[in-house]
Amino acid sequence: MAKLQPVRGTRDILPEDMRRHRTVIDACRRLAERYGYHEMATPVFEFTDVFKRTLGETSDIVTKEMYTFPVSEEGDSVTLRPEATAGVARAFITNGLQQDLPAKLFYTGPMFRHERPQKGRLRQFHQVDVELLGVAQPVGDVEMIALARHFLQEIGLDSDRITLEINTLGDLESRKVYRQALVDYFQQYEDQLSDDSRARLHRNPLRILDSKDAGDRKLVADAPQFDDYLNRESKDFFRQVLDGLRTLGISYEINPRLVRGMDYYTHTCFEFTTDQLGAQGTVLAGGRYDGLIGQMGGASTPGIGWAAGVERLSMLLDQEPQPPRPIAVVPAGEAQEAMALELTQKLRHQGFAVELGYSGNLRKRLKRADRVNARAAVILGEEEAAKGSATVRDLDSGTQETVSLNALGERLAQLS
């Protein structure tokens, strides 16, 4: 029989890795709450149209990377979510959240894409995601970027390791004019474009600017600049975003080639990048999507959000997160085991992390206490048990003392 393995592009998250995951997720959750965002969750799969409407039928995600399954003979299908925003937008409409704006939402969970596995990228991966719906003003963009930067700082990614790249896509009017300018330019070189870019030329020409094909990149270098097609309202909006970032002391680099291909994206788009993960440098990306909710059938609602990959960020943590050091409860023999079990549960209810010495003689049980990196051992011997006390051994210093069981919690708290 063949040895069972995880499916290619997936991995088991063992305790050491899970602590790194939790460090990232808990930092984001904690800060999101501080900024007034509320956690929510959506199903792990949606009807396929949720993603086709939002990501576009010609996008790589829809055409190449989604896990889609038929659910009826009439052609209905469901898709494992490849990203979070579409499901959040669907939930916003379904649950009538437009009645109480702004909606400030935090989200975390697994996503699924059938792409080539590489460093920090898996076919089942995890994201943290923050969305702000109902705020049309530039201050919403500034707050969203400030939260992202604060989050990255919280997990130890300082400015010398992370760069904020930012651009504007303008409003819908500016975008329409720029789109036509791109079509006019790339049509001259249509025979030199990659197959993917030729397919995008008339459907989604902004996606060509994001092409990784070497031949496309040469053509993109001389393509029209978005800045030349921005109207005054779009320039004013972007100026206010940049002014807000400077007010908060957040440094940035303007990247005129940073784009989002879908038509519902407007104004600000941004990414935090690093050179510490190889060629694929983005660790957090976001943008304003004022047209998304309307495109999905809801009332026109402005929105901006960002997402970050937990696996990629966890690889950048400098320090290995450590589990809390427990208290070891060690019965000296079988006669004290029932008392040890009762005491263990009592200490846990008092808020201590406690490991019970399950079996073996006293020496073996103390050896296990060392192996789990216990802070102290509470030893229950026959004589101590008869007096309603225990021996507390400080496993760092090696000193020990007899402590009344009634005062045990207070003494252990001093060692924590």
Is 369 labelled a binding residue? no
Residue for token pair 């050896």? 367
Is 84 labelled a binding residue? yes
Is 19 labelled a binding residue? no
* Cα-based distances in Å from 369 to 19, 357, 361, 365: 21, 8, 13, 6
Residue 45 bridge partners (DSSP): 80
* Residue 292 contacts residue 264 (beta carbons within 8 Å): yes
* Residue 101 contacts residue 134 (beta carbons within 8 Å): yes
Is 295 labelled a binding residue? no
Which tokens in the block code for residue 385? 């048990």
Nearest to 267 by CA among 233, 298, 295, 243: 233
Cα(396)–Cα(379) distance, integer angstroms: 16
Is 83 labelled a binding residue? yes
Is 127 labelled a binding residue? yes
Give the number of other Cβ atoms within 10 Å of residue 180's Cβ.
13
Is 328 labelled a binding residue? no
Cα(376)–Cα(403) distance, integer angstroms: 13
Cα(109)–Cα(39) distance, integer angstroms: 11
Q: Residue 147: is it exposed, middle or buried by C-beta count within 10 angstroms (0-12/13-18/19+)?
A: buried
Provide the annotated binding site for L-histidine. 83-85, 113, 127, 131, 260, 264-265
Provide the annotated binding site. 83-85, 113, 127, 131, 260, 264-265
